[in-house]
Amino acid sequence: MATAFSPELVADLVERISPSLVRVDAGHRFGGTGTAWSDDLVITASHVVERDEDIELGLDGDQTAKASVVGRDETTNLALLKVDGVKLTPAKFRSLDGLRVGHFSVAVAKPGKTVRASFGIVSVLGGEFQTRPGARIDRWLETDADISAGWSGGLLVDLDGAALGVNNRGLVRQAHLTIPHVTLERVINELSTHGKIRRGYLGVGVHRVDSGLLVHAIEPKSHADTAGLLVGDVIVSIDGKKVESPWSLASVLREKVDAEVSLEIIRGGQPQTLKAHT
């Protein structure tokens, strides 16, 4: 059952959350926001970090610290930074289970020397979707709280102060989305381990046709070339998963890193199966 909350509730939770936020100065015209993921790692939006060197983080008060780029993923517009010499206060995330449209939410950011906040409700709560570059966002949400320039990399929190996700204005044009913990964790684990997001690769150029993807170019000595794929072949599926657009091909290959896959193709009107490495 919904209950009334005190006038101080939002102010108190913003004060509680603020130690987990940092200002990110990394070449952008305006300061950006970062969120402490661990005591030495900060997650922010990739578009906030225009350079990989001389990155400065603004902490509580006038304290600053230097940071370096661990890795970035343009397909999710996320970047991971490492800070040395100070201990950060990691944000506490929650799952989106039980969250509904209409629940109160607070956007919190620190693009300047002080924390900023905007209050609203969860206005859209969606399921899995794929960005145009081929990244998988497990779930997503929007809020009607104002997410201004410089707020990307900040948090959307519930009224208990638990983080629903990291706000991002650069992932989808003309929209600000909140990327949930489940997606952040997957991306950060890859960036921490490899410095980038690894994806399977075939080395083909394709056009969409009714039956699948028509191969119009093959990179010499690529996995597709080695597997015997020919220009004019139509790729129907990979390991039984249909590919109906270049984005669906990228999505399937994202899950097939350094693996052998079965390419179901049509050649000269006849179905065939080729084995390929990714």
Q: Which domains can be identified in the chain, with CATH numbers?
A: 1-198 (2.40.10.120), 204-277 (2.30.42.10)
Rounded Cα distance between 225 and 23, Å, is 47
Cα torsion 227, 233, 234, 239 to 10°: value is -20
Q: What are phi and psi of 248, to 5 degrees?
A: -70, -35
Question: Among candidates 174, 27, 182, 24, which has minimal Cα distance to 109?
Answer: 24
* DSSP-assigned letter for residue 20: G
Rounded CA-CA distance 274/264 in Å is 7
* Residue 104 to residue 145: CA distance in whole angstroms: 9
Residue type present at position 229: L
pLDDT of residue 136: 78
C-beta of residue 184 within 8 angstroms of C-beta of residue 78: yes
Q: What was the pLDDT predicted at 1?
A: 43
Alpha carbon dihedral 63, 147, 129, 247, in 10-degree steps, equals -80
pLDDT at res. 4: 61
pLDDT tens, position by position, for the chain (278 residues)?
455 667 788 999 999 999 999 999 987 777 799 999 999 999 999 989 988 888 999 998 788 999 999 999 988 899 999 998 899 999 999 999 999 999 999 999 999 989 999 999 999 998 887 777 667 788 889 999 888 888 999 999 999 999 999 999 877 766 788 999 999 999 999 999 988 887 788 999 999 999 999 999 999 999 999 999 999 999 999 999 899 888 788 878 877 888 889 999 999 999 999 998 88
Residue with tokens 């004060």: 15
Nearest residue to 139 via CA among 129, 152, 131:
129
Q: How many CB atoms lie within 10 A of CB 211?
A: 12
